[in-house]
């Protein structure tokens, strides 16, 4: 199937933090793909900004060439590299902004995307600099990355700071999970088919599981991660966004604000988890030495170089307190050093009310809709089927399996690629609005406060396992199991 691209006008993309890890590993490879797909028309520019390293644009391009060659993706590189320029600027200093602004304004008015791929500490000087040099007006947009704060107060400070210079319509808060194909397909499945929506409620759905598992540990990101932990790093943003898309009411239109309004209602309907119930509804874990990817792996404290009470795993039994979802648990789980790299949403339907089959037919298992976000994006729908051939009525739970790669035979589009394209086009649908981010923190803050009050350390789990045994107990005491190994 041939990919369909709507043409875009030449644009400028300025990456503050153009020498950083995010730029080299995610943004520049994504831009190369956009270039290869004809989505960076001649005249478009990518201006990388970082402090003065004494290197020129030519030397910067050599660095990028090396970084991108490492990804094995060389196609189109020769045409792409000349679009890149390096501009040395310490954004915290008054010097240098004038010449930077002149460089940007050298070409006339056009879409200008300012990607803040830096620590949030310097968002204010960047936005102030852009504003005072006339770069925040017109078709300018600013992109900010997670973490948007570490709690509600700090998120509000960042949002206020950016909001002084850029309107909400100009502000794109990236959660790259929203750029994943399966995540968007969830909306298509729910609202493009008559099949699911009548069943999408507490009367027919038993529970929902959302798992985001990584096999990696913290590695060199230890000092950053240790200040954050799994709840802040993964749950408050990625897992809550996925929960919202599963739980939201049908939006009135397929438009950014209609969808974001519905997601916000879900966040506001999350049942509070606080000191009164956190011990029953949450599990914190931290990995100890074990094995990962077939090799021995150190524990978190060894990787970090000191002991710590930061969680690298969290499991939560959440609930959306409204008519549609009353008493339907949403089990959320994320961790590092898990047995596989896996992100999935599992919607388990209720059992049939009565079985007409003999026990010899085998047990009746529930229908399940499994949306796989990674490793290979796709959808599985589990149904009871008759085993073909003689032998009477024997039933088996089998999956209708739709792998996107096989079904559509198109190149896998990375989330950053799609999201960068959406910023250039001015489509904010897959980005988080300020009120969503803050509603997520309002819920997460209570859990963080309850954990802090309890003074309990995270429960240990062996690297390469699915987390502490308490996480298994969290779901099994409700008579349910995690979807591990079930596909
Ligand atoms: P990083 O590798 O530390 O890069 C930071 C960048 O900021 C560097 O290019 C650095 O350049 C630049 N910078 C720092 N101070 C500056 C100043 N005063 N003036 C101009 N440039 C300055 O960080 P990162 O991992 O790329 O992360 C960037 C942001 O994205 C962070 O907020 C991070 O939490 C977020 N994020 C990262 C990832 C990821 O995969 N890396 C994923 C999600 C979110 P010089 O030091 O050379 O000046």
Segment 280-335, tens digit of pLDDT? 999 999 999 998 877 899 999 999 999 999 999 999 999 999 999 999 999 999 99
Over residues 29-44, the mean pLDDT reads: 92
Q: Which domains does the chain have, with CATH numbers?
A: 11-145 (3.40.50.720), 178-412+433-476 (3.30.360.10)
The gap from C-alpha 313 to its chain's centroid, in whole angstroms, comes to 16
The gap from C-alpha 76 to its chain's centroid, in whole angstroms, comes to 28
Short-list 231, 241, 177, 186, CA closest to 433: 241
Short-list 221, 458, 484, 242, CA closest to 340: 484
Q: What are the φ/ψ torsions at residue 334 (nearest 5 degrees)?
A: -150, 145
pLDDT for the residue numbered 335: 98
- What lies within 8 Å, CB to CB, of 50 at 6+ separation is 16, 17, 18, 19, 20, 86, 88, 89
Reduced to 3 states (helix: H, G, I; strand: E, B; else coil), residue 402 is: strand
**Of 33, 87, 176, 238, which is the active-site residue?**
238
Over residues 182-203, the mean pLDDT reads: 93
Ligand 1 pocket, 406 CB below 6 A?
A: no
Distance CA(192)–CA(4), nearest Å, equals 20
pLDDT for the residue numbered 71: 64
Is pLDDT at 1 greater than 60 in this prediction?
Answer: no
pTM of the model: 0.94
Whether residue 176 lies in the annotated active site: no
pLDDT for the residue numbered 106: 93
Instruction: Identify which of 22, 142, 416 to mutate to test ligand 1's pocket (most ligand atoms within 8 A of the CB).
Output: 22
pLDDT for the residue numbered 431: 95
Is pLDDT at 410 greater than 70 in this prediction?
Answer: no
Encode pLDDT of 325-344 as tens digits: 999 999 999 999 999 999 99
Ligand 1 pocket, 20 CB below 6 A?
A: yes
Ligand 1 pocket, 117 CB below 6 A?
A: yes
- Give the DSSP H or E segment for 29: helix 28-36
Over residues 2-10, the mean pLDDT reads: 75
Encode pLDDT of 66-93 as tens digits: 988 866 567 788 899 999 999 999 999 9
Dist. CA 417 → ligand 1 center (Å): 19
User: Which atom of ligand 1 is nearest to 91's Cα?
Assistant: 19
Give the pair of three-digit tokens for residue 441: 């923190």
Give the percent of the chain with pLDDT over 70. 96
* Between 118 and 292, residue with greater pLDDT: 118
Ligand 1 pocket, 17 CB below 6 A?
A: yes
């Amino acid at each position: 199937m041939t990919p369909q691209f709507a043409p875009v006008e030449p644009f400028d993309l300025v990456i503050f933090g153009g020498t950083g890890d995010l730029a080299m590993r995610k943004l520049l490879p994504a831009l190369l793909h956009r270039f290869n797909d004809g989505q960076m028309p001649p005249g478009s520019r990518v201006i990388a900004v970082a402090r003065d390293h004494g290197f020129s644009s030519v030397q910067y391009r050599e660095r990028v060439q090396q970084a991108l060659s490492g990804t094995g993706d060389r196609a189109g590189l020769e045409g792409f590299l000349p679009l890149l320029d390096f501009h040395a600027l310490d954004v915290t200093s008054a010097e240098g902004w004038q010449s930077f602004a002149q460089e940007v304004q050298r070409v006339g008015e056009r879409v200008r995307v300012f990607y803040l791929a830096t620590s949030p500490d310097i968002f204010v000087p960047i936005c102030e600099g852009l504003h005072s040099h006339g770069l925040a007006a017109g078709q300018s947009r600013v992109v900010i990355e997670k973490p948007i704060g570490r709690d509600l107060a700090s998120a509000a400070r960042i949002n206020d700071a950016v909001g002084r210079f850029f309107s909400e319509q100009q502000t794109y808060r990236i959660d790259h999970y929203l750029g994943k194909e399966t995540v968007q397909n969830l909306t298509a499945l729910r609202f493009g088919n008559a099949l699911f929506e009548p069943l999408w409620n507490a009367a027919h759905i038993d529970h929902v599981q959302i798992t985001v598992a990584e096999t990696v540990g913290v590695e060199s990101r230890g000092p950053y991660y240790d200040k954050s932990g799994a709840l802040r790093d993964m749950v408050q943003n990625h897992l809550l966004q996925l929960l919202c898309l599963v739980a939201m009411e049908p939006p009135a239109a397929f438009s950014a604000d209609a969808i974001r309004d519905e997601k916000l209602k879900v966040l506001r309907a999350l049942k509070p988890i606080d000191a009164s119930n956190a011990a029953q509804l949450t599990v914190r874990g931290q990995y100890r030495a074990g094995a990962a990817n077939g090799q021995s792996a150190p524990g978190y404290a060894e990787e970090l170089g000191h002991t710590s009470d930061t969680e690298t795993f969290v499991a939560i039994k959440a609930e959306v307190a409204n008519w549609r979802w009353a008493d339907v648990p949403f089990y959320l789980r994320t961790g590092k050093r898990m047995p596989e790299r896996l992100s999935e949403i599992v919607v388990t339907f209720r059992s049939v009310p009565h079985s007409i089959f003999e026990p010899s037919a085998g047990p009746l298992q529930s229908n399940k809709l499994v949306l796989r976000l990674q490793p290979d994006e796709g959808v599985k729908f589990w149904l009871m089927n008759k085993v073909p051939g003689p032998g009477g009525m024997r039933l088996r739970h089998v999956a209708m399996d739709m792998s996107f790669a096989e079904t559509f035979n198109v190149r896998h589009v990375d989330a950053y690629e799609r999201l960068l394209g959406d910023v250039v086009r001015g489509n904010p649908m897959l980005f988080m609005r300020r009120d969503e981010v803050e509603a997520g923190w309002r819920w997460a803050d209570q859990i963080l406060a309850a954990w802090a009050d309890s003074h309990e350390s995270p429960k240990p789990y062996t690297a390469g396992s699915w987390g502490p045994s308490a996480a298994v107990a969290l779901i099994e005491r409700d008579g349910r199991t995690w979807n591990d190994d079930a596909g």
